[in-house]
Amino acid sequence: MEIERVQLQMHGDNRGMLIALEKDRNVPFEIRRVYYLFSTKCDVHRGMHAHRNLNQLAVSVRGSVTFLLDDGEGPRKVVLNDPSQGLLLRRMVWREMYDFSEDCVLMVLADQFYDPADYITDYDAFMREVRGDTYMGDVPACQGR
């Protein structure tokens, strides 16, 4: 699958750095929810699901984490360890997160409210569903800004 990274513009000066996330400028969807993971134990695997109708942008604001992503065409590994790099997680992509550094703060922006019914938590069921999936999606590619 294609890995879609979004380069986020850093506004730095002698006081430090700042990054802004804005709908349609560097986030290619309407932001309805933001959540973040922290204090994750180093041997933990999180995620292990796909979403039927949820697009997200993940940023490791601090520390590092590894993503395994699979859109049905085979797994890809992505390390997120830079607060100026976003990773687009489109709908119908299986994701697992692991190798969290002790200091990792993983922030996720989402285009829908939390909905447990949107989760596919069985990998085999995901594979069956993604292979029969004809939805083309409506989230454009994002070049960052």
Span of 46-54, 58-66, 69-77, 125-133 interacting with ligand TYD by CB under 6 A: 46-54
Count of C-beta atoms within a 10 Å radius of residue 60: 25
**What's the closest the beta carbon of residue 114 comes to ligand TYD, in angstroms?**
4
User: What is the torsional sign of CA 143, 8, 136, 75?
Assistant: positive
Distance of closest approach, residue 29 Cβ to ligand TYD, in angstroms:
15
Region of residue 34 (left: phi > 0; alpha: psi -120 to 50; beta: else):
beta
Q: Is 35 in the site for ligand TYD (CB under 6 A)?
A: yes
**Greatest alpha-carbon span in the chain:** 53
**Quick check: 38 binds ligand TYD (CB under 6 A)?**
no
Which one of 20, 38, 114, 137 is in contact with ligand TYD (CB under 6 A)? Answer: 114
Around 25, how many Cα atoms within 13 Å sit in the side-chain half-sphere?
A: 8
- Binding-site ranges for ligand TYD (CB under 6 A): 33, 35, 46-47, 49, 114
